[in-house]
Amino acid sequence: MSTPSIFAQNRQSTPLPEGHAKDLVEQACTSCHAINAITRSGFDGVEMWRSVQESMIQLPESDAISIAEYLAEHFPAREDRKPTLVDGPVEIDIQEWIVPTLGQRSRDPIEAPDGSIWWTGMWASLVGQLDPVTGNMNEYALPPEARPHSIVPDEDGFIWYTGNSNGTIGKLDPATGDITEYPTEAGDPHTAVFHPNGNLYFTSQRAAMLGRLNPVTGELKEIPTEPRPYGIIVAQDETVWIAYNGTNKLGAMDPESMEVQYYRMF
């Protein structure tokens, strides 16, 4: 059995039903997420559970089968979560790629100027690159405590990420693997975006701060803001917009003064 060194979240809030593989499930399936992530789920049959399982962890074959059989028996597909299919002229094909490091919590994919797709592996402290034409993937190790949340490529080929757990903005040079870190006051950079003025703007959710980094000089400015700033985008008029997670607000920030005007949503 092998898993990456990741941020364990073993919160057993909901007991599992008795069964032949209950102990195996508790051992193998709770190092990355709580048991209620299982109890709230449901899939059709053993093969579907195997498919889900194989995207997260490598197990001995006998254990994998036992776990899938147990999960299929106790957590079948939930009718209330099945989609309602509607006839129409549009057909959608979905292609998936399993990332090399399992259990990493791959997230926040974004397309770089060269057409490659980059993502963060938050719990494994890495970033990855996918060539969607060939399917080739590369992963780049970051400082162990970085746990990147989001990722932004720039026009020069560098990859920028938010070190959500070590309080840094990081820059990766894919050609060399070299990493430059910019420490923040906030301690938990969350989501970032480049502005046409060349600066990188970012949110820090837990610290309730907004930041601006000049990639050329390294100058970094941070300001306090309303609680839980989360998403951040740049509008066509170059205003920086922020979504406040859970506080029912949007914020419009002037990119030069960093003054924010707040809008409560109803």
What are the pLDDT digits (tens) for 189-229? Answer: 999 999 999 999 999 999 999 999 999 999 999 999 999 99
pLDDT of 127 above 70:
yes
pLDDT given at position 79: 85
Same domain, 260 and 141: yes
Q: Could you tell me the residue range of the domain that residue 61 belongs to?
A: 22-80
What pLDDT, in 10s, does the model give residues 15-73? 899 999 999 999 888 877 788 888 888 998 999 999 988 888 888 999 999 999 999 99
Same domain, 139 and 239: yes
Q: Looking at the domain assignment, is residue 229 inside a domain?
A: yes
Q: Looking at the domain assignment, is residue 195 inside a domain?
A: yes
Same domain, 64 and 181: no
Predicted TM-score (pTM) of this structure:
0.83
Same domain, 75 and 112: no
Indicate the SS3 state at residue 19.
coil
Q: Looking at the domain assignment, is residue 8 inside a domain?
A: no
Domain of residue 71, CATH code: 1.10.760
Indicate the SS3 state at residue 35.
coil
Q: Looking at the domain assignment, is residue 1 inside a domain?
A: no
Taking the CA atoms of 236, 240, 246 and 248 in sequence, report the sign of the dihedral they define. negative
Domain count, the chain: 2
User: Distance (Å, rounded) from C-alpha 172 to C-alpha 157?
Assistant: 9
Q: Looking at the domain assignment, is residue 94 inside a domain?
A: no
Same domain, 205 and 147: yes
pLDDT given at position 7: 42
pLDDT given at position 13: 60
Same domain, 56 and 186: no
Cα angle 156, 159, 161; round to 5: 145
CB 159 within 8 A of CB 118: yes
Same domain, 164 and 51: no
Domain of residue 224, CATH code: 2.130.10.10
Beta-carbon neighbour count of residue 149 at 10 Å? 22
Same domain, 155 and 212: yes
Same domain, 188 and 249: yes
CB 139 within 8 A of CB 130: no
Q: Looking at the domain assignment, is residue 96 inside a domain?
A: no
Q: What is the mean pLDDT of residues 228-245?
A: 98
Same domain, 127 and 170: yes
Q: Looking at the domain assignment, is residue 49 inside a domain?
A: yes
Same domain, 253 and 182: yes
Same domain, 181 and 215: yes
Q: Looking at the domain assignment, is residue 167 inside a domain?
A: yes
